[in-house]
Amino acid sequence: MTKPLNDTIHRVTQRVIDNSRKSRGDYLDLMDREGERQVNRHSLSCSNLAHAFAGAEDDQAAIKAARGPNLGVVTAYNDMLSAHQPYYRYPERMKIWAREVGATVQVAGGTPAMCDGVTQGEAGMELSLFSRDTIALSTVVALSHAMYDGVALLGICDKIVPGLLMGALRFGHLPAIFVPSGPMGTGISNKEKQRTRQLYAEGKVGRDELLASEMGSYHSPGTCTFYGTANSNQMMMEMMGLHVPGAAFVPPGAKLRQELSRAATHRLAAIGKSGEDFRPLGHVVDEKAIINAAIGLLATGGSTNHAIHIPAMARAAGIKFDWTDLSELSSAVPLVARVYPNGSGDVNHFHEAGGMGYVIGTLLDEGLAHADIMTVWDGGFEAYSREPGMDGDALTWRDPGPSGDTEMLRPASDPFQADGGMRLVEGNLGRACFKSSAVERERWTIEAPCRIFEDQPSVNEAFKKGELDRDVVVVVRYQGPRANGMPELHKLTPALGVLQDRGYRVALVTDGRMSGASGKVPAAIHCTPEALGGGPLSKLRDGDIVKVCAETGTLSTTADLDTREPAAEPAPEQGMGREIFAMFRAQADGAEQGASSMMATAGL
């Protein structure tokens, strides 16, 4: 028997609703006005309309005659990004599937899609976070032609899904569905990959061995198989009801994947304003859907990047959600999944063990998620507790049953740990996030002298010289949104992991980001206020005692910061286009608000 909604989840949800009352009301009023004045494409001048379907070829006659809904596709396709390479053929297939239900499809526009895996530790990483705003703006441009009755969003990876959703929410009077492409096949074991990385960091293997190891892991079209930001995105789209149920982790090229994409196209045609089951995006993404996304993140040990993305996506829908909300939810939501880097198996193993259908089912059974959300699919959120399959040529759904691997998935009544492992730490050094689900409990509290750095290479250089062979809190500052675009600092992980394995008490404190691939080293990340502009980290000095404690939620120093001046701020870097992103850095707000210059400047 399903339990009633958990009291903490109810309380946090009500607080979010109350805090968002005005901003959410303003957003819904705008969407109502947009829906009422939505341009009927056939009221456009003949010249406007002719421009809009001149290239539609086989669909020209249908669009001209207004025979059915016209669906816009916003695609983040490129074939450098393995996760997005399968999207190459999606639009032409979707055109065929749309015709099956009397609809038409046009590619409304494309967005950039960068790969954080390629840019880790490189200059291009400083563009990564603000690529999310760029993607949102590109989505808005794509949909500004007022030709569409629904939107298919083709994107998977780190900043791409949040950016697509943020942009699409400004057209929340239209229905929208995310259409994923699925993960690549499992390569070498994650344990072996991590072992080779640490050996390379210690100088015990060379570049050829390291590259061979990495190629054994990242080897074919599809999403990378570790449970980082990209796959956490797919989890959240399921938790918010923005996928066809069970679509997240079906591999590219599978018949089931094709049929799920076909079903998405058919469904999008059915939930438009002219039909009998209108489901506009702005109403699907409400306070409860945002809470569900956060619950999914906590229950599965998802990427810390979403401590920034969830507030930003919420904000685009007029909803206020912060780290206090996330941390309080974490106290009530148990960890039911261990997927690499928090466990040994990857997302393919997760999917085979029961995947999202199992996770959603067990959360609903224990009253740990909102069942009463509007989704893009018929049957409400409960429909997402079933897993898709094929019966001959027919798409079907079934109960996933018990966990297929209790080392990977456990019921919420018997979880891996009682809380979701995403904790707020705060004190005289600011507020930051600590992903406790990835860290052994005996390392949840670290107190040691700090060593101050202002970039990743300096940390790795000090490591190679043996200067960090001691108990130490490594502080990497001037890495926030306004300083340099808040790059991920994933290249710190091997060195800090080696120090920890040598028996030292080690932690990281930074106003930068850590990748969803980062693991076992305790870290207070996304520290806000950031160092640039006089934040507390700017006043730390080498040797100051710093304490990071997930048990008590502490991020503090014994140093008297009030008597100190901030350290000199580094000059902005140029090259790799970083200089023309200066406007994004200058206007960005804090990490806890979503670090969006676009939203801040718009007053949202």
Q: Annotated binding residues, as ranges?
A: 157, 224
Nearest CA-CA partner of 107 in 121, 122, 92, 128:
92
Give alpha helix (H) positions in 253-319. 255-270, 281-284, 287-300, 306-316
Q: Secondary structure of the chain: what % helix, strand, coil (to 5)?
A: 45, 15, 40
Extended strands (E) in 377-498 = 387-391, 394-398, 423-427, 430-434, 445-453, 472-476
Burial label for 351, CB within 10 Å (0-12, 13-18, 19+), is buried
The DSSP code for 132 is H
Extended strands (E) in 421-570 = 423-427, 430-434, 445-453, 472-476, 506-510, 523-528, 545-549, 554-557
Calpha distance 128→116 (Å, rounded): 7
| Residue 254 CB neighbours (<10 A) | 12
Burial label for 224, CB within 10 Å (0-12, 13-18, 19+), is buried
Sign of CA dihedral 246, 371, 592, 343: negative
Q: Is-contact 112 131, C-beta < 8 A?
A: yes
For the record, the structure tokens of 220 come out as 């074919």
Q: Is-contact 112 138, C-beta < 8 A?
A: yes
Which residues are paired to 545 by β-bridges? Answer: 449
Binding residues for [4Fe-4S] cluster: 157, 224
